[in-house]
Amino acid sequence: MHEHKRILVTGGLGFLGSFLCESLLADGHEVICVDSFQTGSRENVAHLRDHPSFEIMRHDVTVPLHVEADEIFNLACPASPIHYQVDPVKTVKTSVMGAINLLDLARRTKSKIFQASTSEVYGDPKVHPQPEGYWGHVNPNGPRSCYDEGKRCAETLFFDYHRQYGVNIRIARIFNTYGPRMHPNDGRVVSNFIVQALTGKPITIYGDGTQTRSFCYVTDLIRGFRALMDAPDGIELPVNLGNPGEFTMLELATLVIELTGSRSRVVHLPLPKDDPTQRKPDITRATETLGWKPEIPLFEGLQRTIAHFDQLLSRTQKRAVP
Ligand code: NAD
Ligand code: UDP
């Protein structure tokens, strides 16, 4: 039986946030979801709307906020390159000013605070797989820097608030995560390939498709969030959360075509600037300290995600009948 807590989730209307809110409510907690609606929507939490312990607050984390909570999960930030590059200055502000505002809140209210950091802090890594001790290889002024450096600065702030003011912090470095409720148009590789396959459009591989990523199914990741937040104080931070299964984009395309039974052909488009060539988490720390490891293999997670997009596209009548 879990202790009942009042928990603030910033970015709670987004892809990961909506699953986190659902998981916290299922354990009997009270959830205040703070979101600016920049990339999130009420639709993602439509099934929670009438839950008596769920509250939505429209608020931008770049502005200080005053809420009483026992714990804070800070997820607010656009995560997909096409979203975070629309207004890069705002992306930096969201990560940096958002971290300062929420850390100040945690300091005032003595609440524990969790940061959704990212594998992007490793940039285009020269160490493979990436352990937490690796400092990364990041371009400080490229088109991805607003996100990567914003998240790196947020980590700096978390550690400084911990060292300087004793704030109780948790930092998860999240690797590519996929699942239902991803935005169909956010340009992410998993949603792009699935939507393209289901609508009979060409599958767009950027570059030669030999770059790799490691994809974690969303519910596995949320289990990791919860384990990290609930872990005893003194845990070594930060903690990588991701699925170590590593795939090239060519392999991913082949798998999506196979699972959808699509007749889409593959086309190659130019590789975006600073696109990391490889990425795979070393999850030794998460496994040893949290007892966490992902359980859902890519083919199974993809089947569930395909079923979600299939339903969504059928509703909007965009699904191509093979
Ligand atoms: P998402 O875009 O679906 O959700 C982000 C949410 O934050 C949205 O609801 C958006 O409206 C909200 N938001 C953005 N700016 C805000 C602001 N200034 N104030 C208040 N709310 C704001 O993205 P996601 O995939 O759910 O990612 C959630 C978090 O996890 C992000 O911090 C992201 O950087 C991190 N992350 C995600 C992944 C992934 O694979 N999805 C990987 C690494 C890290
Ligand atoms: N990618 C691709 N086709 C697409 C979208 C993305 O080949 O339609 C590639 C992209 O260049 C990158 C990988 O897939 O190498 C993962 O891209 P995504 O934007 O999903 O995540 P990130 O680059 O942030 O890890």
Q: Among this protein's residues, is 217 annotated catalytic?
A: no
Centre of ligand 2 from the C-alpha of residue 76, in Å: 21
Read off the pLDDT band of 317 (50, 70, 90). low
Read off the pLDDT band of 23 (50, 70, 90). very high
Nearest alpha carbon to residue 218 among 16, 12, 14: 16
Query: What's the average model confidence in pLDDT over 50-71?
Result: 97
Instruction: Choose which residue among 249, 250, 257, 268 to substitute to test ligand 2 binding: the one with the highest number of ligand atoms within 8 A of its C-beta.
Output: 249
Q: Is the pLDDT of residue 94 over 80?
A: yes
| Mean pLDDT computed over every residue of the chain | 96
Query: What's the average model confidence in pLDDT over 273-297?
Result: 97
Read off the pLDDT band of 3 (50, 70, 90). confident
Any bridge partners for residue 268, and if so which? 205
Centre of ligand 2 from the C-alpha of residue 189, in Å: 5
Identify the pLDDT of residue 316: 78
* Cα distance from N-terminal residue to C-terminal residue, the chain: 48
Please work out whether the CB of residue 189 comes within 6 Å of at least one atom of ligand 2: yes
Identify the pLDDT of residue 322: 53
Identify the pLDDT of residue 2: 61
Identify the pLDDT of residue 319: 66
pLDDT digits (tens, 9 = 90+) for 238-261: 999 999 999 999 999 999 999 999
Query: What's the average model confidence in pLDDT over 76-83?
Result: 96
Question: Residues of the chain with pLDDT > 70: what percent?
Answer: 98
Query: What's the average model confidence in pLDDT over 78-105?
Result: 97
DSSP 188: -
CB-CB contact of 194 with 88 (8 Å): no
Instruction: Please name the residue whose Cα sits nearest to atom 2 of ligand 1.
Output: 78
Query: What's the average model confidence in pLDDT over 85-94?
Result: 98
Identify the pLDDT of residue 315: 85
3-state secondary structure of 125: coil
Read off the pLDDT band of 209 (50, 70, 90). very high
Ligand nearest to the CA of 118: 1
Instruction: Give the atom of ligand 2 at the shortest distance from the alpha carbon of 272.
Output: 11
The ipTM, to two decimals, is 0.98
Q: Is the pLDDT of residue 321 over 90?
A: no
**Tokens of residue 284, six digits:** 């030794």
Identify the pLDDT of residue 320: 66
Give the strands of the sheet with 54-58, arranged side by side. 54-58, 30-35, 6-10, 71-74, 112-118, 169-174, 239-241
